[in-house]
Structure 1
Amino acid sequence: MVIEENECILLQHRTDEDNWCIPGGVMEIGETFEETVKRETFEETGLEVNGLELFGIYSGESCFVQ
């Protein structure tokens, strides 16, 4: 998820890996892509998002999470 406003991108600091990244996560069974983006963004940042626009979907073995 890239959240851009006023030419700025929202990043979060991951304390488990001590790095900066965009908010993101794993889709739950039965969720739409939009529901996943909204839930993950809220869980990780406390922000509610709207006006979403799809720019890509990444999947396959390299993206598998258990």
Structure 2
Amino acid sequence: MDFIAKKNAHDRLLGVTHLEADRELLKQKAPQHHLLKRGVFNRLQDASSILFALLDFATEEEIV
């Protein structure tokens, strides 16, 4: 997925309420990812970072 497609998918999917679900999916797809090793400090920023990383490993349809 190129950057523009990834950014557009990110913007469509971003929601703080989905932070835990996105973390769980990232844990399934990439259990050693460095974002899983840190705690949640800023929910919006962390949700954005996790979603952006998740788009490297899962399609938009899988995330929904």
Task: Establish whether TM, by shorter chain, passes 0.5.
Answer: no
Using the size of structure 2 for normalisation, the TM-score is 0.29
Larger RCO (CA within 8 A; separation ≥ 6): 2
Name the one with the larger strand percent.
1
**Rg larger in structure:** 1
User: 1 or 2, which has the higher helix percentage?
Assistant: 2
